[in-house]
A and B are shown apart, each in its own frame.
Chain A
Amino acid sequence: MLSLELALRYVISRKRPMAMSLLGIVFGICFFVLTQAQTAGFEAFFIRTILGTNSALLISDRFQNSDGVVHEIDENGRTRFLFNSREGSRYRDGIDHPEMVHSALSDYPGITGVSEVLRGHGVMHSISNKSSVELHGIHLHDHQKVSDIGKYVSQGSTNRFATDPMGVLIGSRIFLKLGIQIGDRVSLSGGNENIQLRVSGVFESGVNEIDKNRIYLHLKTARSFLNRPFGGAVFQVSLEDPGNAPAIADQMQSFLNHRVVSWQEREQVWLDVFKALRLSSAITVSTILLLSGLGIFNVFAIMVIEKKRDIAILRSMGFTQSDVSSIFLWQGVIVLILGIILGSLLGILSTYGVSQLPLRIRGIFSTDSFVVHWDPWHYIWAALISTIFVTVATWIPARRASKIEPAKIIRETN
């Protein structure tokens, strides 16, 4: 405690260099959490969007047993299928027996929703324009369980869609292009027959791909339009724990004998981009902390030289080597703790500030302000990195201080 008291005095008596060192850490931590909150924020938003539109798992395409499947008899004598590689297997388009898959999934653990989706293509006409569309036939009730479709509807409503067998939910970009209103009739061609649909609502997911291509119809309507009374659909599945999707996908794939793709696999390219972004900003900002660590090293190295007489007399009056080094280590601790507290506070404030900044993004998701993600781990990492740098920056001078030979300094001084 005596060492701590001396450390405090030394810190207080060196306001300027200490304040500079402190400032480095404060800004380092602040920038660290701020950039992490942003990159993680955009990533989280992106993930929420892809889960909200295309769900955690997509079950499609039945494997052809002869090619991609390896049989194995397990301990209980049951036949299991193992897949060596997805690329190596052949599969048939769509699910042939949706009821079977549906019932097989009904008591599968960890699943919060299953929605059968029949996909196809068509051309949508309004009076003034036309647009090629990717139609998704759904049971609205099922689909709401696996997606945020309700939240994305910006005009009209899902209720309107639910009660109208010929209703259609249209991507916002298509809606704009066709120049139509809610309640208008549009025709859909290119399938079995031309059909007339009524616009029940417009959705905007923010994902360009979806907003400019996708429409939702009732599954029955889609089946008749596409002339596929049975089969051919895919399943979107939502999970309690989307983070566990790859493992569940693997399991489910061998269980169902259908191709199952997790959102992580589907969106791997984007997820990798976000990961790289997050890592590179962490590394970049850590250099601020590294530099302030060097600054602290410099301050303490000079202080050890300035304070060698104090060190000598303290040693002569019974302070041990470790007492002396702890005087300097405590100073590091004081600066570090203050830096972590102030840096985190400033980080919180500026993260909040940034989240209020207007920023319009459309393309891979939709937002009108900066997206931030609050995560205590950002603060823990920032604290950890600064602790490492400050520890090294203090430990070396502290060690040097403890090695000072009192007799030598006293002889030089007198």
Chain B
Amino acid sequence: MSVPILCAHNLFYDFEESGNSVPVLRDLSLDVKPGQVTSVVGPSGCGKSTLLYLLGLLDKPESGEILLENNSMTQASEQKRTEIRNEKIGFVFQFHFLIKELTVLENVRLPILKSGKSLQSANAQSEEILEKLGLIDKLNRPAFKLSGGEQQRVAIARALSNSPRILLADEPTGNLDSSNSDAVFEILNEFAHEGGITVVMVTHNMDLAQRSDEIIRMMDGRIVT
């Protein structure tokens, strides 16, 4: 058994709605194994996205603990969490979140440049990943001129460009047709199995979930087995 790279212990998360505190996650714990694709499934509103934001250090739980490579994130400063997001975590969402003023290459190299690497190595690293995703000929195109499937692949390239340990994907195929969905899933699968990247993917696509290494089912803010 491999050691989990990402653990959640007893997470509670509420949100305030017109003065009332509504529970979203209730005592949720889970371990994510490295180098695998883990799918998170469950009905709408059960807290999947919330869980992903907490795992990705974009948000903080009311209580409970996140452990990343065995380090507790509870005490980490905002600065530290921001650095960890840059170095170790990549995000892909249903919406691509590409910056339309930038070209494909410029979008993809943002996290690398942010980590302080030189422009040359950022370009080299970005081109390598775009090559793998079959986007090398779109390098200098404005991001907004691509098709939906291409944009999502650029978003994946951006999430992977700074060589993160973990990729968190929230319904990455939600806006794509089935052939584009398949392609995206295959990419994630490949990066997990050959690149050693840990992928956690929220999805409604049961077919894709079945093809992943592990499935986590959620209901009403809890994990069900």
Determine chain A's interface SS by DSSP, over half rule: helix
Chain B residue nearest in CB terms to A12: B101
Closest Cβ of chain B: how far from A27's Cβ, in Å? 28
Residues of A within 8 A of B56 (CB): 316
Tell me which of A10, A316, A319, A414 contacts B49 (CB under 8 A).
A414
Residues of A within 8 A of B93 (CB): 410, 413-414
Tell me which of A9, A313, A318 contacts B97 (CB under 8 A).
A313
Interface residues of B in 174-188 (CB under 8 A from A): 174
Tell me which of B83, B94, B174 contacts A318 (CB under 8 A).
B83
Interface residues of B in 124-171 (CB under 8 A from A): 158, 162, 170-171
- Once the chains bind, are A318 and B53 in contact (CB under 8 Å)? no
- Once the chains bind, are B86 and A317 in contact (CB under 8 Å)? yes
Given A314-B110, A406-B58, A410-B53, A319:B82 Cβ within 8 A: yes
Given A410-B53, A414-B93, A414-B94, A316:B110 Cβ within 8 A: no
Given A410-B58, A414-B170, A310:B115 Cβ within 8 A: no
Determine chain B's interface SS by DSSP, over half rule: mixed
Tell me which of A13, A319, A321 contacts B114 (CB under 8 A).
A319
- Once the chains bind, are A310 and B53 in contact (CB under 8 Å)? no
Given A413-B93, A414-B93, A317:B113 Cβ within 8 A: no
Cα distance A323–B79 when bound, in Å? 12
Interface size bucket, B side? 20 to 34
Residues of B within 8 A of A160 (CB): none
Tell me whether A125 is interfacial, beta carbon within 8 Å. Answer: no
Cα distance A321–B85 when bound, in Å? 14
Residues of B within 8 A of A411 (CB): 49, 53
Residues of B within 8 A of A12 (CB): 101
Number of A interface residues in the complex (CB < 8 A): 26
- Once the chains bind, are A318 and B87 in contact (CB under 8 Å)? yes
Residues of A within 8 A of B94 (CB): 414
Chain A residue nearest in CB terms to B60: A407
Closest Cβ of chain A: how far from B172's Cβ, in Å? 11
Interface residues of A in 315-339 (CB under 8 A from B): 315-321, 323
Tell me whether A2 is interfacial, beta carbon within 8 Å. Answer: yes
- Once the chains bind, are A318 and B95 in contact (CB under 8 Å)? no
B68-108, CB under 8 A of A: which get 1 and which 0?
00000000001100110111001101110101011000000
- Once the chains bind, are A407 and B82 in contact (CB under 8 Å)? no
Chain A residue nearest in CB terms to B102: A9
Tell me whether B34 is interfacial, beta carbon within 8 Å. Answer: no
Tell me whether B31 is interfacial, beta carbon within 8 Å. Answer: no
Cα distance A317–B170 when bound, in Å? 15
Tell me whether B111 is interfacial, beta carbon within 8 Å. Answer: yes
Tell me which of A313, A317, A320, A407 contacts B59 (CB under 8 A).
A407
Point out which of A2, A12, A320, A414 has the most chain B C-beta atoms below 10 A from its C-beta: A414
- Once the chains bind, are A317 and B110 in contact (CB under 8 Å)? yes
Cα distance A51–B164 when bound, in Å? 77
**Beyond known contacts A316-B91, A406-B58: 7 more, CB 8 A cutoff:** A12-B101, A320-B82, A407-B58, A410-B53, A410-B58, A414-B49, A414-B94
> Would you list 28 pairs from A and B whose C-beta atoms are within 8 A, ordered by A residue?
A6-B99, A6-B101, A9-B101, A9-B102, A309-B95, A309-B97, A310-B99, A313-B97, A314-B110, A315-B58, A316-B56, A316-B85, A317-B90, A317-B111, A317-B114, A318-B82, A318-B86, A318-B115, A320-B82, A323-B114, A406-B58, A410-B58, A410-B93, A410-B170, A413-B93, A413-B97, A414-B93, A414-B171
Binding site for B on A (CB under 8 A): 2, 6, 9-10, 12-13, 309-310, 312-321, 323, 405-407, 410-411, 413-414
Q: Lowest 4 A-B CB distances belong to which pairs?
A: A318-B86, A313-B97, A407-B59, A9-B101
